[in-house]
Amino acid sequence: MRPKLLVIAGVLVTPLVTAATALAGNGGFAPVAPESPNAHAIKQSYLFISLFAFAIFLLVEGLLIAFVIRYRRKKRPREADGAQIHGASKLELAWTAGPVLILAVIATFVFVKLPTIQDVPASAATSQNLVVDVIGTQFTWQFRYPNGVVTIDRMRAPEGRTVELHITSPDWDVIHSWWIPALGGKMDAIPGKLNKTWFKATRVGVFQGQCAELCGLYHAKMLAAVEVMPAAEFDSWYEERRAQQEAGTSPLGEELWDGTCAKCHGLEGEGGYGPRIAGTTLIKNTQSIEALLRKGGILMPPVGRDWTTDEMNALTDYLKERVGNQG
Ligand SMILES: [Cu+2]
């Protein structure tokens, strides 16, 4: 008798003990706090559907327990059949029509929310959409802005302005998936295909995300962040960064080194994927390093095939000046 009681007590107490952990931090069972209208609509749909799921769970499990107790065998012999009950037409109609109705209500709600989630809002006369090309490659995110500014793994964006994301992956690469949960749903980065999504950040902050499609050995290192800045601050950063890129003084070289080279190689091989870079004579030879990046090596993908001149120059300068002298 005692072990049985223990099991029952365990079954009843476990959900209570784990509930706090499940609900704590990061939204618990629910999506993270939304910071963009599309993410907001996703969370509303999630909560709406959860409401029905939870109610049905309670109903089904409640009836299950009630019936187990009410119709238990008691002293009836094991081989004797229970009472033979004929169908109940009304009940059967109800449990057929009920779910149909529930699914119709859920579908209607989702279809009402879908345009907010999916459709990129058109540019307004007062506020043009900022279009950013998002390119996923193993295992880096590149962000390209209309004025030629490029950033790696960390996108900067203005608060309160629609940012239109044009997401793709080069045709020599694999499928990745762009996902910053606070700023909207996932969108695949597919080689040779352009997918569009958007966000309009409601507050300043850094929103984390990562590649959401298993894309290779270092998939877990393919993190992404969006830094939302006050609009005026963004504008001055945007212009300054362009000037820096033109003058060769931007941190783009370092970003490319961290995001593209060091992630897999590491100066001393600490990247754990590619061989160590320190000590290679190639580093100071701009032409050979560019050829390697553009064409790829025996085991290395052509990570720099589609890089802009700014990107290539920034990296080769950085390698020559900073990395080359360390090794
Ligand atoms: Cu990926």
The answer to the question of residue 21 being in a domain is no
Total number of domains constituting the chain:
3
Is 202 in the same domain as 218?
yes
Is 210 in the same domain as 155?
yes
Is 267 in the same domain as 314?
yes
Percentage of residues in the chain with pLDDT exceeding 90? 54
Is 232 in the same domain as 264?
no
**pLDDT of 314 higher than 60:** yes
**End position of a domain, from candidates 223, 249, 275:** 249
Could you tell me the CATH number of the domain that includes residue 260? 1.10.760.10
What residues sit around ligand 1, an ion, with C-beta below 5 angstroms? 176, 211, 215, 222
Q: Which of 213, 206, 211, 212 is nearest to 222 (CA)?
A: 211
CA–centroid distance, 321 to ligand 1, in Å, is: 30
Give the span between the Cα atoms of 258 and 107, in whole angstroms.
45
Neighbours of 319 (CB within 10 A): 24
Could you tell me the CATH number of the domain that includes residue 137? 2.60.40.420
**End position of a domain, from candidates 221, 249, 277:** 249
Is 160 in the same domain as 188?
yes
Q: How confident is the model at residue 27 (pLDDT cuts 50, 70, 90)?
A: low
The answer to the question of residue 263 being in a domain is yes
CA–centroid distance, 6 to ligand 1, in Å, is: 46
Q: What is the pLDDT of residue 22?
A: 67
Bridge partners for 163 per DSSP:
130, 199
pLDDT in tens, 98-128: 999 999 999 999 999 999 999 998 887 777 8
**pLDDT of 12 higher than 90:** no
CA–centroid distance, 311 to ligand 1, in Å, is: 20
Q: Please, what is the average pLDDT of the chain?
A: 88
Q: How far is CA 112 from CA 95, 108, 117, 120, 198, in A?
A: 26, 6, 10, 15, 18
Q: What is the pLDDT of residue 96?
A: 94
Q: How confident is the model at residue 170 (pLDDT cuts 50, 70, 90)?
A: very high
Phi, psi angle pair for 247, to nearest 5°: -85, -5
CA–centroid distance, 317 to ligand 1, in Å, is: 27
Per mean pLDDT, which of 27-36, 69-78, 140-149, 249-258 is the most reliable?
140-149
CA–centroid distance, 23 to ligand 1, in Å, is: 29
pLDDT in tens, 193-228: 999 999 999 999 999 999 999 998 889 999 999 999
CA–centroid distance, 156 to ligand 1, in Å, is: 20
In the predicted model, what is the mean pLDDT of residues 163-169? 96
Q: How confident is the model at residue 327 (pLDDT cuts 50, 70, 90)?
A: very low
The answer to the question of residue 124 being in a domain is no
In the predicted model, what is the mean pLDDT of residues 293-318? 86
β-strand pairing of 223-229 with 205-210: antiparallel
Long-range contacts of 142-150, Cβ-Cβ distance < 8 Å, separation of 24 or more: 142/311, 144/308, 145/238, 147/238, 147/242, 148/242, 148/245, 148/308, 148/310, 149/238, 149/241, 149/242, 149/245, 150/245, 150/252, 150/308, 150/310, 150/311
Is 198 in the same domain as 220?
yes
Residue 295: domain span: 253-326
Neighbours of 275 (CB within 10 A): 13
Six-digit token string for 141 = 């995110």
More confident site: 266 or 106? 106
CA–centroid distance, 237 to ligand 1, in Å, is: 28
Q: Among all chains, which residue has been given the structure tokens 């506020």? A: 127
Q: What is the pLDDT of residue 26?
A: 59
CA–centroid distance, 71 to ligand 1, in Å, is: 54
Six-digit token string for 287 = 């032409």
Is 160 in the same domain as 140?
yes
